[in-house]
Amino acid sequence: MKIKSKIWIESEEGILLGEGRVKLLKMIEETGSLNKASKSLKISYQKAWRMIDEMNTFPTHPIIKTQIGGSKGGGTSLTDYGKSLILIYDTINKDCWKFLDEQLEKHHLC
Confidence of residue 63 (pLDDT cuts 50, 70, 90): very high
Task: Please indicate, yes or no, if residue 77 is contained in any of the structural domains.
Answer: yes
Average pLDDT over the chain, rounded to whole?
Answer: 90
Which residues span the domain enclosing 49? 9-106
Question: Using alpha carbons only, how large is the chain's radius of gyration in Å?
Answer: 17
Q: Which residue type sits at 98?
A: K
Q: Is residue 94 part of a domain?
A: yes
2 in any annotated domain: no
- This prediction has a pTM of 0.86
**Domain assignment present for 72:** yes
Helix, strand, coil percentages, rounded to 5, for the chain = 55, 15, 35
Span 82-105, mean pLDDT?
Answer: 93
Res. 70: pLDDT tops 70:
no
How many separate domains does the chain show? 1
Residue 17's DSSP bridge partners are: 9
CA separation, residue 77 to residues 1, 18, 103 (Å): 39, 19, 39
Indicate whether 93 belongs to any domain: yes
CATH number for the domain that contains residue 51: 1.10.10.10
Residues 45 and 2 sit within 8 Å (Cβ to Cβ): no
For residues 33-61, average pLDDT: 92
